[in-house]
Amino acid sequence: MARTNPLAIGRDLAIDLGTANTLIYARGQGVGLNEPS
């Protein structure tokens, strides 16, 4: 299964637009959103 690279927005926030789930990760707080794509 191919995995996309997360899109880094600044140094504190990353978005991963994967095939199954969309993840938004905030440094120091962890995953803030994990929803089906």
Q: How many domains does the chain have?
A: 1
Predicted confidence at residue 3, as pLDDT, reads 55
Range of the domain at 17: 7-36
Give CB contacts under 8 A, 24+ apart, made by 12-16.
Answer: none
User: Can you list the positions of beta strands (E) in 1-37?
Assistant: 7-9, 13-17, 21-26, 30-36
Q: 15 in a domain, yes or no? A: yes
Map tokens 């789930």 to a residue. Answer: 21
pLDDT tens digits for range 1-37: 445 566 666 778 888 888 899 999 888 888 888 989 8
Q: 1 in a domain, yes or no? A: no
Distance of alpha carbon 12 from alpha carbon 26, whole angstroms = 6
Predicted confidence at residue 1, as pLDDT, reads 43
